[in-house]
Structure 1
Amino acid sequence: MQVSGSRVAPAPVVEVNRENYQRPDDNPVKATASDPVSTFSVDVDTGSYSNVRKLLEQGSRPPADAVRAEEFINSFRYGHPAPTTRDVPFAFHTELAPAPWDSRRQLLMIGIKGYELPRDALPPMNLVFLIDTSGSMYSADKLPLLKKAFAQLVPQLRAQDKVAIVSYAGSAGEVLPPTAGDQHARILAALEQLEAGGSTNGGAGIELAYALARQSFIRGGANRVLLATDGDFNVGTVNQGALETLVADRRASGIALSTLGFGRGNYNDAMAEKLANIGNGNHAYIDSLSQARKVLVEQMGGTLYTIANDVKIQVEFNPARISEYRLIGYENRVLANEDFANDKVDAGDIGPGHEVTALYELTPVGSGAEQLPARRYATAASATPAAVAGEVAELRLRYKLPGQNDSKLLTRPVLAADARRTPSQSLQWAAAVAGFADQLRGGERMPAWNWDKVIQAAQAARGTDANGERAQAVQLMRLAQGLVDKPQPELDN
C-alpha cells in the first residue's frame, strides 16, 4: 500500500480568513411583454445553507456572497409527488398562490421529484475518494471530521462496488488502490492513517483520482470522484481554466465529480461549487456528522447516482396575465433561452429521490404592484388566443436519460383557475426560507418583510418536522437577527 500522500501531523496551522465566494447579482425583475421566457438549469446543491448554518452557530455574520437562495430552499423536503412509473425519471408539479410578503403578487412554485431506488437495487459504484491532506486541513472540523464522514459511508458499500483513496498534499499519493467495497476494515484503516501536512496541489491529485476511476470503470454503474477539501488550492502550477477543462473532459467520458467542503478560514466555496457543476456532480458542505450522514448515507442514492442528466427548466409567461416576474435564486444556473433545446449545453443532474424546488415571484396584470417603471411608448402585448387565455404560463422541462445524447421534452400549462387562495404549508415554508436568504443578502428583494416577519412565517409553516430541521432553521433565523448589526467579515481573496 502506497502512502506517499499522507504525512506525520505537524503543529496546528494558524489560519487567516481567505474564504472565497462568488456572488452574482440577484436575478432582476423582468417585463413579460418584452422578455416572457425564463430558462435555467436545475440545481440540487445544498452547500450554501450548511456553510451559513455553521457560521451562524459560531456567532459569525455570513457574508452575503455565501448565500445562494436556491441552496437554502433545496435543503428541505416539500413532499413533491413522486412518479408512479419509471417511464419518466421524475414527476413535476406547480403551485400558484399569493406571495406572503405582498398579497398583490403571486408565487409560482415548481417542484420536481425523482423516483426512488431501494438500496439493494442501486447499480454498482466505482468511487474514488480524493482527500485534501494539506496543512490547512489540520483542524477538527476539517480532516478529522472528513474521516468520520467517509467512515459512515463505508458500511453501505457492497462487494460489487469499488473504492480507491487518493490524498494530495504537495504531491499526490495513492493511499488505497481500487478495492472491493465489502472490504470495510481495509478501507477504514486506509482512511484512519491520513494526516494533515504540506501544501496543496489539487491538480495532480485530481489527475491521479481520474486515472484510478478509469482503471475501475463500471459500464452502467456510478463512476464518481468525491473531492473532499477546504478548497485551498494554493500551491503548484494549478491553472483553474486547465482544471475546469480536465473535469469537463472526464465528465464526457462518464466520470462525474462531486465536491464536499469542510472547515472555515480558507474555504473556497466558489471553486468547490464550480468544479461540481462542471463535473456533473453536486456540492455539499459538511459541518457536522449529522450532515455527513444526511448526504452520504440517508441521501446516498441521490448523491452518488444519476437518473436524469442535463435537466433544464423553461417557463414562458403569458403577458396577458403576468406583467413582471423574477426567478428567486439560481443566479449561476441561468441559461440563454436558445440553450434550452441545445443538447450540447450542459445542465444539472437529478438522482433517485432528489427533490428540486424553484420559486418565481409574479406580478399579475392590473395588480398595481409593478416594480419596473412604465414605458411611455410600450408596445401592447399581442392578443392572447382564447385557447390559452386562461394560462398563466407554460412550464417546459428537458432531460436526458443516462447514456443518451438526445433530450426529451415535457410540457405543462399553469392555469389561472388553479391558483390557491392561500399557499400550502410547503409553499409557505419555501417562501420563509427564501425570505431568510434575502435578509442575509440585504433584504432588498422583499422590502416588506423584516426579520420578525420572516421568523413568524417560518414558525407558522414548520409542520410536523419529524427530523427537527425546520425548528433548527427557525433558530438560525433568530441567531442571524441578532447578528445583523455586526460588521460583515472582510475576506482576503
Structure 2
Amino acid sequence: MRTIIRHSSYLLLAIALSACVTQEQKESRKHTQKPTQTQQPLSAEQQKQLYNERQNRISRQKAQLQARKHLMTAEADSSQLAVFAAPQHITSGQLLYEPTLAGETYAELNQNSVKLVTENPVSTFSIDVDTGAYSNVRRILNQGLLPTKDAVRTEELLNYFDYGYAAPASQEVPFQVNYGMLQSPWNEHKHLLQIGIKAWEPKGDVQRADANLVFLIDVSGSMHSADKLPLLKKSLRMLSKQMTSRDKIAIVVYAGASGVVLEPTSASDLMAIERALEQLRAGGSTNGEAGIKLAYDMAHRGFIKEGINRIILATDGDFNVGIANTERLVELIERERENGVALSTLGFGTGNYNDHMMEQLANKGNGSYSYIDSLLEAKKVLVEELDSQLITVAKDVKIQVEFNPSRVSEYRLVGYENRTLAREDFNNDKVDAGEIGAGHTVTAIYEITLVESSDKSIDPLRYQKKAKATTNFSDEIGFVKLRYKQPKSSSSILVSEALTMDTLIKGEQATQDLKFAAAVIAFADKLHGSRYIKDFSYANIQTLVNNGKGADPHGLRAEFGQLVKLAEVLSES
C-alpha cells in the first residue's frame, strides 16, 4: 500500500510539473514568434527578464517536488505516512499551483527581547497549553510553504511534546514543577533554563465528572473542502465514541443562519449522533455570533451541576457576517465562562484560516486551541488527550521568576509573547490567566547569561552599582513562584521554590529531553528568522533532534525531524 501511494503521488506530481513546463513553453513561443506590425521584438533586457521569471517558476516547482519526494522516501512509521501521503495542492487534471497564505489571519508576533537582570529582575507570564500552532505549521510545510513568522508561536511548538516530567501523586496539588538546565547549543556563553509543569491525571478506576458537550459546527460555504467539514465530521465521530452514557452531546450548526441539529442527548445514543453528523452540508455565509449564542442556550439546557460543561467550536475561524467586531463576542464568552460553561476551539482547513480568532476565543473561554490537519491529529487530541481537553485541574495559572543578579546577568523568555503579564498582575486574582487540564504538560524555557560569562548581549550601565552576592542566596539562580486556583475557587494558591545549582542537576534522560526541547526552540527561531540563534543551521537542529529523540513511542519526535528536513529544502528553493 505504501509503495502504491508513493508511486501514485510521484505520477501526479510528474504530470502536473510536465503540464506547467509545457504551458510555459507555449508562453515562451508567443514571445519568440515573428513580430507583426503591432508587436515589437523583445529587447535583450526583456528577454533576460522573461527567462529569469521562467527559471524561477520551474525552480519553485522542482523544490516542491523534491520536498514531497524526500518525505515520501523517508524512513517513517505508519503515522507519518498517513500525514504526508497526500499532497494537498495536487488536483487531478490540473496544473501544479503554488499554495498561498495570503488569505489567512495571524496576530502580529514580535519575539521577546533580552532583559538585564539588574534592571528587570522579574519575569511574569500566564501558562499556555495550546498546541494549535504546531500542527498548523506542519500543515503549511506540507503544502510546500515556509510559514509566516506570526504563525510560529514557540510555546505551542514546545507544548506539543511530552518531556517525561514527574507527575503529582494526587489531585490535592494539581501539578508538579520540574527544572533543568543545559548549555545553549547555539551559544556556548548562554544556558537554557527549563521550567516544566506536569498536571495530575486520573489513573485506573478514577472516574471523571459527567460531561455536557455542545458541538458548535461551522457549515458555511468556506467549509466545503475535504480538509474542513468532512475531516471535522470524522473527528467528532471519534470524540463521540469516547463518551459514556452519563455524558450528553448536543450539535448546533451555523452559516447564514444557525440551528439545532441535535438537542442534548445521551452520548450512548450513537445512532442519533451519527444521523445528526451525516446530514451536515456546507453552504452559505458565516454568522458565528448567532451560532455561539444558540450553543450557549443548548449548554445551559443540558447543564450538569458539578460536571463538565463545554462548547467545542469547530471552524476555519472565518466569521464574515453577523458581528461588527470581536469585542461583543469576547464579552459573551467571558461572561459565560463565569457561568460555568467553557469554550474550546478546533481549527480546520487552509486558504482563509483565521488562527488569531481561534486562539483568542479559546483563551477567553478557559479552553484550549488545537488545529486538526489529519485524522491522526484528531485521534491525538480527541482520543488520547481527551482528559486534558475536558478536565480542568487548575485555572488562572501564572508563573513569576525572579533572577538573582549575583548569578544571572541576562535572560530571555522564549515564546509566550502574547501571555506576558505585568508584575503586579501576579497577585491580582481578577487578572485572567491560562488553564491546565489533566495530564497536560507545560514547558517554559529561559535563555540566560550567567554573571561569569565573557560574552553578554547588553553592556552594564556606567553609574549603577554592581550587585553583590548575599550569604543566604549565593547558590540560587532564581526564585520561582506559581499562582493557581482550584477549578471551583475564586482565590489563588501560591507555591514557590528557590532554584539552586543542585536543583538543576538532572539525569541522562532529562538531559536528552531538554536537548529535544532545545531543537524545537531552534526550529521555531529559525522559522522566525531570529537573530538569537545566529548561524545555527537546519543540519545543527537535526543533530539535536537525533540526540534527543529517545524512545519516541508515538513517532512524534521522528516526525518533527522530517519537518526540519522539509523546512531546510524549502528554504533553499
Whole-angstrom CA distance in 2 between matches of 1:268 and 1:379: 49
Tell me the alpha carbon deviations over residues 213-242 of structure 1, each in whole angstroms, 9 at most, x when there is no partner: 111111211111100000000122342111
Q: Which of 56, 65, 70 lines up with 2:155 in the alignment?
A: 70
Please name the residue that 1:114 is paired with.
199
Please name the residue that 2:521 is paired with.
434
Tell me if structure 2 keeps the 8 A contact 1:31–1:372.
yes
Q: Which has the higher strand share?
A: 1
Whole-angstrom CA distance in 1 between matches of 2:293 and 2:345: 15
**Structure number, greater radius of gyration:** 2
Please name the residue that 1:268 is paired with.
354
**One-letter identity of the residue aligned with 2:547:** A
Q: Which of 525, 528, 532 lines up with 1:445 in the alignment?
A: 532
Residue 120 (structure 1) shift: 6.0
| 1:95-110 matches, cutoff 5 A | 95-110=180-195
Tell me if structure 2 keeps the 8 A contact 1:107–1:359.
yes
Residue 459 (structure 1) shift: 1.6
Residue 419 (structure 1) shift: 4.2
Establish whether residue 400 from structure 1 lines up as the match of residue 467 from structure 2.
no
Tell me if structure 2 keeps the 8 A contact 1:321–1:365.
yes
Please name the residue that 1:49 is paired with.
134
Please name the residue that 1:306 is paired with.
392
Please name the residue that 1:279 is paired with.
365
Please name the residue that 1:249 is paired with.
335
Tell me if structure 2 keeps the 8 A contact 1:201–1:238.
no
**One-letter identity of the residue aligned with 1:458:** V
Q: Which of 417, 421, 428 lines up with 1:331 in the alignment?
A: 417
- Where 2:190 maps in the other structure, the secondary structure is strand
RMSD (CA atoms) = 1.6
Please name the residue that 1:165 is paired with.
251
- Which segment drifts farther, 210-219 or 40-49? 210-219
Please name the residue that 2:451 is paired with.
365
Please name the residue that 2:94 is paired with.
none
Whole-angstrom CA distance in 1 between matches of 2:119 and 2:319: 44
Residue 450 (structure 1) shift: 1.6
The answer for unaligned runs of 5 or more in structure 1 is: 1-13, 487-493
Whole-angstrom CA distance in 1 between matches of 2:355 and 2:465: 44
Residue 305 (structure 1) shift: 1.5
Tell me if structure 1 keeps the 8 A contact 2:179–2:503.
no
**One-letter identity of the residue aligned with 1:482:** V
Q: Which of 156, 169, 172 lines up with 1:87 in the alignment?
A: 172
Tell me if structure 2 keeps the 8 A contact 1:15–1:266.
no
Please name the residue that 2:64 is paired with.
none
Please name the residue that 1:224 is paired with.
310
Q: Which of 166, 170, 174 lines up with 2:260 in the alignment?
A: 174
Residue 16 (structure 1) shift: 8.6
Residue 376 (structure 1) shift: 2.3
Tell me if structure 1 keeps the 8 A contact 2:109–2:149.
no
Tell me if structure 2 keeps the 8 A contact 1:226–1:257.
yes
Whole-angstrom CA distance in 2 between matches of 1:113 and 1:120: 18
Please name the residue that 2:498 is paired with.
413
Call closer, same or farther: CA 1:221–1:312 in 2, change over 3 Å.
Answer: same
Residue 340 (structure 1) shift: 0.6
**One-letter identity of the residue aligned with 2:288:** G
Establish whether residue 21 from structure 1 lines up as the match of residue 106 from structure 2.
yes
- Where 2:480 maps in the other structure, the secondary structure is strand
Alignment: residue pair count: 472
Please name the residue that 2:35 is paired with.
none
Spell out structure 1 runs of 4+ moving beyond 3 A. 14-17, 417-423
The answer for unaligned runs of 5 or more in structure 2 is: 1-98
Please name the residue that 2:218 is paired with.
132
Residue 96 (structure 1) shift: 1.9
- Where 1:452 maps in the other structure, the secondary structure is helix
Tell me if structure 2 keeps the 8 A contact 1:96–1:418.
no
Tell me the alpha carbon deviations over residues 417-451 of structure 1, each in whole angstroms, 9 at most, x when there is no partner: 44449870111000000101010111322114121
Structure with more relative contact order (C-alpha pairs < 8 Å, separation 6 or more): 1
- Where 2:472 maps in the other structure, the secondary structure is helix
Please name the residue that 1:6 is paired with.
none
Establish whether residue 469 from structure 1 lines up as the match of residue 556 from structure 2.
yes
Tell me the alpha carbon deviations over residues 255-301 of structure 1, each in whole angstroms, 9 at most, x when there is no partner: 11101000000000001001100110000000000100110110000
Tell me if structure 2 keeps the 8 A contact 1:202–1:238.
no
Q: Which of 301, 312, 319 lines up with 2:405 in the alignment?
A: 319
Tell me if structure 2 keeps the 8 A contact 1:284–1:295.
yes
Whole-angstrom CA distance in 1 between matches of 2:344 and 2:490: 22
Whole-angstrom CA distance in 1 between matches of 2:305 and 2:233: 29
Tell me if structure 2 keeps the 8 A contact 1:48–1:72.
yes
Please name the residue that 1:490 is paired with.
none
Establish whether residue 454 from structure 1 lines up as the match of residue 568 from structure 2.
no
TM-score, length of structure 1 as denominator length: 0.93
- Where 2:189 maps in the other structure, the secondary structure is strand
TM-score, length of structure 2 as denominator length: 0.80
Please name the residue that 2:227 is paired with.
141
- Where 1:309 maps in the other structure, the secondary structure is strand
- Where 1:432 maps in the other structure, the secondary structure is helix
Tell me if structure 1 keeps the 8 A contact 2:179–2:504.
no
Whole-angstrom CA distance in 1 between matches of 2:368 and 2:175: 18
Whole-angstrom CA distance in 1 between matches of 2:101 and 2:359: 22
Whole-angstrom CA distance in 2 between matches of 1:365 and 1:272: 42
Please name the residue that 2:571 is paired with.
484
- Which segment drifts farther, 148-157 or 236-245? 236-245
**One-letter identity of the residue aligned with 1:480:** A
Residue 188 (structure 1) shift: 1.5
Q: Which has the higher helix share?
A: 2
Tell me if structure 2 keeps the 8 A contact 1:157–1:182.
yes
**One-letter identity of the residue aligned with 1:277:** N
- Where 1:356 maps in the other structure, the secondary structure is strand
Whole-angstrom CA distance in 2 between matches of 1:414 and 1:226: 39
Q: Which of 436, 451, 457 lines up with 1:350 in the alignment?
A: 436
